[in-house]
Chains A and B, each alone.
Chain A
Amino acid sequence: MSSFGGRDVLSIRDFSPADIQLVLRTARKMVPIAIGEKRSRSLEGKILSTLFYEPSTRTRLSFESAMARLGGRALGFSSAEGTSVQKGETLADTIRMVEAYSDAIVLRHPHEGAARLAAEFTEKPVINAGDGAGQHPTQTLLDLYTIWDEKGSFEGQNVTLVGDLKYGRTVHSLAYALVELGTHLTFVSPPTLEMPPEILEQVKEKGLSFRAAHRLEEVIRDTDVLYVTRIQKERFPDPQEYEKVAGSYRVDMEVLRDAKRGLIIMHPLPRVTEIAPEVDRTKHAVYFKQAFNAVPVRMALLDLILGEGA
């Protein structure tokens, strides 16, 4: 039995660098199955519950697609409306009930810590598909896969995270994992949306250096991977201030003039105006591929947790 058999996926912090490498290597083997070139029945007879207490179409469909590609089945709900949650059932009770119907549970929930609670009430593996402003480990894994697949390795890469680094949960988990994997980090954000001190502390604890900047132009020349996130309007009390700030972090051809040839641009999507549409046609743009990578990475996790090899 691998170390993954029956395991919960609650936070990226539960993954050692070796665990992450295993998921990434397994994901690469899944690609031909994910695109329908090859067939697999490795999860035949297995059932995955997808409990989405708030809608997240992309995450839910990619889990269901991953399960179907491996010959398994998925059942569940895509929002809390019309379920027993509305009658006041606790999450703990729902989990105890669902445990009897399935082999693993994928949970998306608006409250932080929901997945950890769920894992306490079931013996079946729980996969966190986002808990409020907390963790979203499978997103981090697919981001890591994209970097590894495109660049070949993590060590020595200059990864620049740009946008809302204060509230964006994807960038916190990603920064944590990248530090573990030995990349150099650069943080670019408006002064009010800087990376929280506890993340900076972790980077320093690992003995790694990082750079912080307020302007993308200052760092684009040295960047190998540019990870762009959305700056949300609701973070700014003054809409004019938002327009000004958001505009100054927009990635367009002008910003990319000094970029390395091999630079890749990533974005967790959906994007609004952070990346100009003309960038889509450049070799730098990998964000749509990144979105596709959700399927092989989630297949890899499901297979490692539930499959024969598990």
Chain B
Amino acid sequence: MRELRVTPIKNGTVIDHIPAGLALKVLKILGIGDAVTSTVTVAMHVPSQAMGWKDIVKVEDRELGGRELDKIALIAPTATVNVIRNYNVAEKRPLALPDRAVGILRCANPNCISNVREPIESSFVVRSKSPLRVVCKYCDRELEDIVSHIL
């Protein structure tokens, strides 16, 4: 029998099919590293039939949703997100790139009004999904390095 490199979790979220090499960025999005109270398992460069190589992140006792999923969709739109309850897949949460990315990216233009103290959230229009191209709703500039501008 093949030995499982990553053991099943009882409750939490499994993010599978992350493009190889992006697992640490997913951790950054999830804010893992600061005050984590549950176990996080990361598998990097795992063989995958569909993708060749992939990364997997398992977060115990935490169900991901909303903006966290939108952020993951920005960097890894092919990933799958399964919510696990009592060792079973209770829910498959689809990752869909929104038409607008609100409050999840910071504009790279330091002179953009969204980087000034104003009561607004950053907002980007998704111009193209593949390759991903986003344009700031306020200053109209295209964001070049999307990953490093995730809030």
Contacts and interface: CB of A to CB of B under 8 A. Distances in A.
Whether chain B is bound by chain A comes out as yes
Interface of A: 11, 90-92, 109-114, 116-117, 120, 131-135, 198
Contacts, number: 50
16 contacts: A92-B118, A109-B113, A110-B111, A111-B116, A112-B109, A112-B138, A112-B141, A113-B138, A113-B139, A116-B113, A116-B137, A116-B138, A117-B114, A131-B113, A133-B111, A134-B139
B120 interface: yes
Interface residues of B, number: 17
B117 interface: yes
A117 B111 contact: no
Given A135-B140, A198-B142, A112 B119 contact: no
Contacts of A92: 118-120
Given A90-B117, A112-B109, 14 more contacts: A91-B113, A91-B118, A92-B120, A111-B116, A112-B113, A112-B138, A112-B141, A113-B139, A113-B140, A116-B138, A117-B118, A117-B138, A133-B111, A134-B140
A111 B117 CA distance: 12
B26 interface: no
Nearest to A88: B117
B136 interface: yes
Given A111-B112, A112-B109, A112-B111, A117 B142 contact: no
Chain B's interface: helix, strand, loop or mixed, by majority?
loop
B111 A11 contact: no
Nearest to B137: A116
A198 B111 CA distance: 20
B105 to A, nearest CB: 14
A50 B113 CA distance: 19
Contact of B136 (A11, A113, A114, A132): A113
B111 A111 contact: yes
Nearest to B140: A134
Nearest to A117: B113
Nearest to A172: B140
B146 to A, nearest CB: 17
B142 A113 contact: no
A185 B92 CA distance: 52
B112 A113 contact: yes
Contacts of A109: 113
A114 B114 CA distance: 9
Nearest to B107: A113
